Amino acid sequence: MNVPSNVLAAWRTINDYLSSLSAPADHLFCIGEATMFALNWNGSIDRGDNGIGAWGAHTANKSIMGVSLPEGVLIATAGLTGTWKDNRAKVGEWLAVNRVQVDVTKNGKTLRGDIVDAGPSRSTHNCIDLTYAMAHGLETNGRAVVSYSIIISGQKIPIKGWDFENGVEIAQPGVA
């Protein structure tokens, strides 16, 4: 028995519509611009940064392999809501208890580091900041397009708080 083409076309339309109703895919990686913090590419002090991470890491050194993620991404990915002021300590606890790390990839090379600070600010539209060691290990020359994934127990987890369509941190009250 041959199925008429108009029935097949209707079936495809219905199938496409039902597929569109399913839950959105988890975003397990983010692609965007990365810059540096604490130290500049040449090793000089970044005058816009105090060299101390949000949870006390001494980020103005050449050996720490770390990253800084936007406040809104940290809050949302940790399953929290509210302002950075209200959540900084809770995010730090979540990072420590879960031993959260980040894989950063540029041109096929991936390095893993700790989340040692919060930033860049939403106004930069950068998705991540890198320490001197991470930036040099990935050969970014201080600025590059990278992808990153957040890792807990060796597994990628969904990244939240980032507008993947527009490439910017989702605006939240009380978040830089």
pTM here is 0.85
pLDDT on residue 172: 83
CB atoms within 10 A of CB 52: 14
Q: Where are the beta strands (DSSP E) in 56-107?
A: 66-69, 101-106
pLDDT on residue 135: 98
25-169 has which fold?
A: Barwin-like endoglucanases (2.40.40)
Tell me the domain boundaries of the chain: 25-169
CA distance 104 to 109: 8
CA distance 77 to 56: 21
Give pLDDT < 50 ranges for the chain: none
pLDDT on residue 50: 96
pLDDT on residue 114: 98
